[in-house]
């Protein structure tokens, strides 16, 4: 992993705002989504494979569930799969969801530097609210954008274009933190300084579009890109 991270590092102007993805970046919820997808497919006599997981990771609900239907030839509607998935996800909350390494320290460093931050996620509003409530995290962010706030999901850059406008900054002065190829593609297409933080299921993704690839949210190179002292 260290060699991979060292290969990609392009420095831009000091960021004036920071946008966080949610699942797999702030919290280990990608592991929960794996359990959700596995249970959904088990109920239908199908398998939730790594290939299917990669195809849906980071994408908005409609795209995810339409892909599952197409992949396995299911008779469900995407809306019924989404509702069932959300019920399973909520039932699993509290069973091992944790913050990702370095998150707490990074949030504190950004707050001391008075750098505004937001969350930009492909997840549904109800799921996002439930996860953030576990850690009383929402008040620490200037705003939260979810799948309900956009018409075109990642890898389209719409969510990050909207974030830059809300921040009142040029996209190139916004640093985006993402854990998946899909999310990094959206951030890079927006023109933001794109930082990949691979973990778990995304460790084997191709992040050649990223400006920087780091090992976790405590990586000194991330702090350097932000112009901050390491925690």
What average pLDDT score do residues 31-51 get?
90
- Residue 208 has a pLDDT of 94
Residues 6+ apart with CB under 8 A from 28: 96, 97, 98, 99, 100, 199, 200
Confidence band, pLDDT 50/70/90 cuts, at residue 196? very high
- Residue 31, H or E segment: helix 29-42
- Give the fold, CATH level 3, of 2-28+99-226: Rossmann fold (3.40.50)
- Residue 11 has a pLDDT of 66
Q: Indicate whether 198 pLDDT > 60.
A: yes
Instruction: Check: CB of residue 196 under 8 Å from CB of residue 186.
Output: no
Q: What share of the chain is helix, strand, coil (3-state, %, to 5)?
A: 50, 10, 40
- Residue 115 has a pLDDT of 98
**Residues carrying CATH 3.40.50.1000, the chain:** 2-28+99-226
**Residues carrying CATH 1.10.150.240, the chain:** 30-92
- Give the fold, CATH level 3, of 30-92: DNA polymerase; domain 1 (1.10.150)
């Amino acid at each position: 992993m260290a060699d991979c991270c060292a290969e990609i590092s392009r420095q831009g102007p000091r960021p004036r705002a920071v946008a966080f993805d949610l699942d797999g970046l702030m919290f280990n919820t990608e592991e929960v989504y794996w359990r959700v997808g596995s249970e959904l497919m088990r109920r239908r006599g199908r398998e939730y494979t790594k290939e299917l997981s990669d195809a849906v990771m980071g994408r908005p609900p409609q795209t995810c569930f339409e892909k599952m239907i197409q992949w396995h030839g299911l008779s469900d509607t995407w809306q019924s799969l989404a509702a069932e998935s959300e019920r399973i996800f909520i039932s699993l909350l509290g069973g091992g969801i944790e913050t990702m390494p370095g998150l707490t320290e990074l949030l504190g460093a950004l707050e001391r530097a008075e750098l505004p931050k937001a969350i930009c996620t492909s997840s549904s509003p109800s799921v996002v609210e439930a996860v953030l409530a576990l850690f009383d995290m929402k008040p620490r962010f200037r705003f939260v954008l979810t799948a309900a706030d956009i018409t075109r999901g990642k890898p389209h850059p719409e969510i990050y274009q909207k974030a830059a406008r809300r921040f009142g900054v040029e996209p190139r002065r916004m640093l985006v933190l993402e854990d998946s190829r899909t999310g990094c593609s959206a951030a890079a297409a927006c023109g933001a300084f794109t930082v990949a933080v691979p973990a778990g299921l995304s460790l084997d993704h191709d992040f050649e579009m990223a400006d920087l690839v780091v090992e976790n949210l405590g990586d000194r190179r991330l702090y350097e890109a932000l112009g901050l002292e390491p925690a």
